[in-house]
Amino acid sequence: MAETDDQSSTPKMTQREAQEALEKQVAQLKREINKINRTLSERAEEALEEANGWYDSATDRASRTAQALRSRAQSVSGVVQENPGTVSTAFVLGGMIGLMLGLILTGADDPRRGRWL
């Protein structure tokens, strides 16, 4: 019996009041969602600006590097054209050193080989 007295003493919400309360909650949720959307939009713009900055920086560095490589390639090309004998001598020497190193290293593995050839 005490339970029924407690229930009857609290005023019950009418259907209209419940509808208005729900509408207020929905309006508040819409405002919060709009606020969140604005915040996300601002952050997306900041991220886009930062990414564009990185891209521009990388593009500039790549452009400078490509120019430097082109310049060096042209200078090497000029040296080769001016001194073809020196370049071919350097390649021959490099080949001979590589051949000798190869022979030494393969001979070091085989204890049966007492001489190079």
Query: Tens digit of pLDDT for each residue in 40-91?
Result: 999 999 999 999 999 999 999 999 999 999 999 888 888 878 887 887 888 8
Measured CA to CA in angstroms, residue 11 lies from 4, 17, 23, 115 at distances of: 13, 12, 20, 112
* Phi, psi (deg, nearest 5) at residue 116: -75, -45
Amino acid at 55: Y
Domain ranges in the chain are 14-82, 84-117
Percentage of the chain lying above the pLDDT 70 cut: 81
Percentage of the chain lying above the pLDDT 90 cut: 55
Output the pTM of the full model.
Answer: 0.43
C-alpha to C-alpha distance for 79 and 91, rounded to whole angstroms: 14
What pLDDT sits at residue 1?
A: 46
Is residue 75 within 8 A of residue 83, CB to CB? The reply is no
What pLDDT sits at residue 98?
A: 93
